[in-house]
Amino acid sequence: MSLACYVLYLEHDNRPHEVWAFATHEEAELFAVSVAHDIWIDCEGGDPETDEFPFGEQLHEILQQNNEYFRLYRCEDEESQQLTLLRNPARRSRITQQRHSLLRVTPSFMQENVMSQFTPFRVEVLFRHYRNDLPPGLLRALEPLKLRYEVIPTQDPYEDTAFGMISGHTELAEDDIGDWVQKIIAPFNGDVLSWGFAWRWTP
């Protein structure tokens, strides 16, 4: 079973960057189009009722003029590959027609009507140099995957590492959960400590 994860970055010149993780390339691309669509409306005055949504180089120029930069990576087996994003005119019609679908439903592999088929799990993690604070963008990265984060408090006033628990549901084998979560939290300087299915969790 593939453990690939698609990590989408939105970099800003004037505020903290944002990061999301998705199970499929299509979900990442649809989400990027939805965000770009909102930027086009808010910053360029685009009217979805009368104006044609830009794509390809024109869309990238609009994003860059507003100090917004997208990057998409496919991460698997400790390797990452940057993918082309929002540039293929042949995909324009299908993607723009579906651009709001990702905002209306949860990702395909985590839809509520099949959630009972997945196994609950928990993963203990740490983030260096954050103390008890959340790394910026972490919750935004976990949300599309229907993952939850709980802070594990530390009493050491000199501790410079934040500890927490990530939980959710998965169809992965128990041995594969740690590697999958590691790919998601690696951009935040995070590391997995231990993991397991929820009903036999032993930290």
User: 192 pLDDT band (50/70/90 cuts)?
Assistant: very high
Q: At which residue do the structure tokens 């044609």 appear?
A: 52
End-to-end CA distance of the chain: 26
Domain 112-200: give its CATH code: 3.30.70.970
pLDDT at 163 > cutoff 80:
yes
Which carries the bigger pLDDT value, residue 2 or residue 108? 2
Instruction: Write out pLDDT tens, residues 65-91.
Output: 888 888 888 887 667 788 888 766 555
The domain limits of the chain are 5-104, 112-200
Using DSSP's 3-state secondary structure scheme, residue 154 falls into coil
Distance set, CA 66 to CA 12, 16, 62, 100, 160 (Å)? 9, 15, 6, 22, 35
Instruction: Write out pLDDT tens, residues 93-116.
Output: 555 555 444 333 334 433 333 344
Q: Can you tell me the distance from the alpha carbon of 103 to that of 96, in angstroms, rounded to the nearest whole number?
A: 13
Q: Can you tell me the distance from the alpha carbon of 149 to that of 199, in angstroms, rounded to the nearest whole number?
A: 18
User: Looking at residue 126, what is its pLDDT?
Assistant: 92
pTM above 0.85, yes or no: no
Instruction: Write out pLDDT tens, residues 110-151.
Output: 333 334 447 889 999 999 877 667 787 888 888 878 888 998
Q: Which CATH class is domain 5-104?
A: alpha beta
